[in-house]
A and B are shown apart, each in its own frame.
Chain A
């Protein structure tokens, strides 16, 4: 199911100079803000939870998920270089699964890592806030990578759709319409984080059983469907 050559090509494409800079921008911003807040406010659990929940989980993780998930396959389909993968006796689901693993790894490194660092800077992991939000970032990385990899496979405008989902649906509708929160990767991941740490600082609008089922279903379905779409991917000529 995992092809090391596909993985190597995907890593090299994703971590090219320009994309790596884009991927690093938000984590660096999060850490810089955390240092400033710690300097101004001192150690405050609520402030730490607000910053990690509002900036790291609600904004940074989905955006990095969009960049890594769509970037793992979208550009190759756009410029046609995917033909070199597709003209090989490699099963399409293997290509998708491998790219998913890479996208998950990149999203985790660029989102969960900085979240943990920021958490320790903000309140030294008091009430396990740093660990809780890191768990949420790790869990969300999996679902976001799968969702946005699917978007990258089916649409040429994957980045736009991904950002609309991440910023408009999860951030805007999520804060206005309670129903939208049930269908939110962010809330599912917070439910898992709440269960893992048991703290009251991390809460979710979704119960753990629902969150777990939805996380698994979305990840598995998105990956399976992306594999199917890649099997019938059409490369139109230039004529």
Chain B
């Protein structure tokens, strides 16, 4: 059982704070590190992998310091986001080299290549691989020594749906085996499909931690803003404001639309078409005005 502990870790580059006082514990199973682009996920993963020193705080694996500790890599497998990976080698040569650097041989490399189903292309140069194939060979190189902790930085980037499903199944299996698997992503649906436990990072801060469904509910239950145009805006506004699912409605004369703030997402989405039908009002436009992932994350930080 491997536990990665991030204890009051901050990292700044000059005046820019990339990671701000984050404390989290990553245990066995699959954990998703979720956050918008530029949130500090890669910085955090680089510190977890021992490639960046925290400005303050500590990163430890079962109590052992990660930074400047080569021996720790017997237990860590890393799948970096970057593409570069000795393109002049074949997939097999690359994985064999990774195995040898762990003191293992070609047998371990072959097993890892079989795990990621890359045997069919193992003798082709890496330079000829598609992004998904590269990703799988990177996985093989990270798995070759049977690590108890697997760190993956945006592993699904550029993968087609089939490859994505395969990798997800593989990671799920590794989590079920009791390994500690942490992957980063900025796509909610990816995390939803794979991780029960998530850590959310926004603007370098730890925004949320815990069960995915609870956090998803928190995201869903936040106040939603809608822009609505109808055949009779004022009548619609009067009918909607009497319901507890709305907290404010503005008649925007310039736009010729209603700006509605809903506090109960589920109830409001059922209410709106019903009220319109009951009052004989035609809905012309219903558009959510703050559905970007960034706004969802910002809400979480404020919550």
Contacts and interface: CB of A to CB of B under 8 A. Distances in A.
Interface string A177-217: 00000000000000000000000000000000000000000
Contacts of A12: 86, 88-89
Given A83-B82, A88-B98, A237 B71 contact: no
Contacts of B82: 79-81, 83, 238
A91 B82 CA distance: 23
B41 interface: yes
A63 B74 CA distance: 39
B70 A239 contact: no
Interface stretch (B44-52, B188-196, B224-232): B44-52
A125 to B, nearest CB: 39
A9 B97 contact: yes
A235 B88 contact: no
Contact of A238 (B18, B49, B70, B81): B81
Contacts of B100: 4-5
A90 interface: yes
Counting chain B CB atoms within 10 Å of each CB, the highest count among A80, A89, A91 belongs to A89
Contact of A85 (B18, B53, B101): B101
A234 B52 CA distance: 5
B176 to A, nearest CB: 24
A6 B46 contact: no
Given A12-B88, A92-B70, A239-B37, A5 B101 contact: yes
A211 B76 CA distance: 46
A62 to B, nearest CB: 26
B97 A239 contact: no
A85 B98 CA distance: 8
A235 B52 contact: yes
Contact of B73 (A5, A81, A87): A87
Given A6-B101, A88-B101, A235-B52, A80 B84 contact: yes
A89 B53 contact: no
Nearest to A88: B101
A172 to B, nearest CB: 36
Nearest to A85: B101
A12 B37 CA distance: 36
A164 B38 CA distance: 37
B247 to A, nearest CB: 35
Nearest to B141: A84
Nearest to B73: A89
A3 B101 contact: yes
Interface string A214-239: 00000000000000000111111111
B170 interface: no
B101 A13 contact: no
Contacts of B45: 237
Interface in B18-61: 18, 37-43, 45-46, 49-53
A5 B39 CA distance: 37
A150 B53 CA distance: 21
Contacts of A83: 51, 78, 80, 82
Given A5-B97, A81-B84, A88-B101, A236 B52 contact: yes
Contacts of B85: 81, 84
A90 B97 contact: no
Contacts of B72: 89
B128 to A, nearest CB: 15
A239 B49 contact: no
B111 interface: no
Interface in A51-97: 79-81, 83-92
In order of increasing CB-CB distance, the 8 nearest A-B pairs are A237-B42, A79-B84, A88-B101, A80-B82, A235-B51, A5-B100, A81-B84, A87-B78
12 contacts: A12-B88, A79-B84, A81-B86, A84-B98, A89-B70, A89-B73, A89-B103, A92-B70, A232-B68, A237-B45, A239-B18, A239-B40
Given A89-B72, A89-B74, 8 more contacts: A9-B97, A12-B88, A91-B70, A234-B53, A235-B52, A236-B52, A238-B42, A238-B81
